[in-house]
């Protein structure tokens, strides 16, 4: 197989457009909170957002409507990542937060932009409350790595899920050969042996064509959410990070098994480019919306994601929308508007 060397040049605006620097202590309402790739969890009545940013960006809120910027998870770049990723200086992507056996597990991604020179790392903490004497992020280092010329997948955008037996699985992936799922050990730190890998979603692509080409395999950011008898796989398709030209959207499929196959409403597998639309930009108030997480709070399910604000030069902002489910158990498509 020939060696594939090409760049995923998906930006037509400078990288800092969605990697905005926000001072610690600055406050925002949800509609104006500058985030990218958000996930959320609650501890003792306080909601915490973790997002792409230098050292992993963090915001806190008591009502999910007013957010305060906190200090990042890491004050300096993890040294293992500096050694593993040429040019890496501490800008960390797409975190994923879970609480398991008395600890918070924070997966995160480091990558050489536009390549599958990428790694997924893990940090743990007993609490998210900075005032607690137990507050301390302990970096566990590399969990999974993808290597150009060896792997046809990209080790970014991690998401942890537990199956009905309590077995942990990690989904991840961006472009390339789609979204992967791998079985993890019970300590959540390494891939389980013997290894179990699955491709749970993908889009047709031509590896000889740059990823900038329209429709060339643009899929990433998996999030698996268990509800009732189904596992719902949410993925983002088309293009992020292009400000006014962003076409990001979220689609979903479901399966009775965490390993899949995940089918959309029409029965098309997500491995075959299927996907039922959940949310997309309206080209008036939001150019695109994607990279979602799903949380349940007060018996309501919420879709958490970022959108490209049409009223602010396409800058990336926080979106938080309640999910309603139809009689067949599918999320009702969410309509974005000016007030959101």
> Looking at 96, 157, 177, 220, which residue is catalytic?
220
Beta bridge partners of 191: 184
Tokens read off for 304? 């958490």
| Backbone region of residue 55 per phi and psi (left: phi > 0; alpha: psi in -120 to 50; beta: other values) | left
Using alpha carbons, select from 42, 295, 59 the residue that is nearest to residue 50.
59
Q: How far, CA to CA in Å, does 276 sit from each of 22, 117, 136?
A: 35, 31, 40
| 244 has catalytic annotation | no
> Looking at 37, 157, 273, 309, which residue is catalytic?
37
Q: How far, CA to CA in Å, does 30 sit from each of 20, 23, 100, 139, 202?
A: 16, 17, 28, 30, 32
Q: Quote the CA–CA distance of 328 and 330 in Å, as a whole number.
A: 6
Using alpha carbons, select from 172, 176, 146, 144 the residue that is nearest to residue 6.
176
Q: Quote the CA–CA distance of 105 and 223 in Å, as a whole number.
A: 16
| 37 has catalytic annotation | yes
Give the HSE-up count for residue 217: Cα atoms under 13 Å, Cβ half-sphere: 21
Q: Quote the CA–CA distance of 105 and 127 in Å, as a whole number.
A: 10
Burial state string for 140-175 with b = 16 or more CB within 10 A and e = fewer than 16? bebbbbbebeebbbbbbbbbbbbeeeeebbbbbbbb
Using alpha carbons, select from 102, 176, 204, 92 the residue that is nearest to residue 139.
92
**By CB neighbour count within 10 A (0-12 exposed, 13-18 middle, 19+ buried), where does 20 fall?**
middle
Instruction: For 305-326, give the secondary structure using H, E and C.
Output: EEEEECCCCCEEEEEEEEECEC
Residues with catalytic roles: 37, 220
């Amino acid at each position: 197989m020939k060696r594939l060397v090409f760049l995923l040049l998906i930006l037509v605006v400078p990288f800092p457009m969605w990697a905005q620097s926000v001072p610690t202590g600055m406050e925002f309402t949800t509609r104006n909170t500058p985030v990218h790739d958000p996930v959320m969890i609650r501890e003792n009545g306080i909601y915490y957002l973790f997002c792409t940013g230098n050292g992993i960006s963090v915001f806190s809120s008591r009502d999910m409507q007013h957010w305060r910027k906190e200090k990042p998870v890491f004050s300096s770049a993890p040294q293992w990542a500096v050694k593993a990723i040429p040019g890496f200086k501490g800008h960390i992507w797409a975190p994923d937060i879970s609480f398991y056996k008395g600890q918070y597990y924070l997966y995160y991604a480091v990558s050489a932009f536009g390549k599958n020179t990428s790694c997924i790392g893990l940090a743990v903490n007993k609490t998210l409350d900075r005032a607690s004497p137990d507050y301390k992020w302990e970096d566990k280092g590399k969990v999974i790595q993808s290597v150009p010329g060896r792997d046809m997948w990209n080790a970014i955008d991690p998401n942890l899920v537990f199956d009905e037996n309590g077995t942990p699985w990690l989904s991840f992936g961006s472009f390339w050969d789609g979204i992967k799922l791998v079985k993890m050990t019970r300590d959540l730190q390494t891939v389980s042996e013997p290894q179990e890998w699955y491709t749970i979603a993908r889009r047709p692509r031509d590896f000889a064509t740059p990823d900038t080409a329209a429709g060339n395999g643009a899929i990433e950011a998996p999030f698996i959410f268990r509800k009732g008898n189904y596992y719902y796989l949410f993925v983002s398709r088309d293009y992020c990070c292009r400000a006014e030209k962003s076409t990001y959207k979220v689609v979903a499929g479901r399966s009775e098994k965490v390993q899949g196959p995940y089918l959309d409403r029409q029965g098309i597998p997500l491995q075959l480019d299927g996907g039922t639309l959940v949310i997309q930009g309206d080209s008036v108030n939001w150019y695109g919306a994607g990279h979602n997480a799903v949380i349940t709070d007060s018996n309501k399910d919420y879709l958490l994601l970022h959108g490209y604000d049409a009223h602010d030069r396409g800058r990336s902002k926080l979106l938080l929308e309640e999910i309603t489910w139809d009689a067949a158990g599918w999320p009702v498509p969410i309509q974005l508007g000016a007030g959101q």
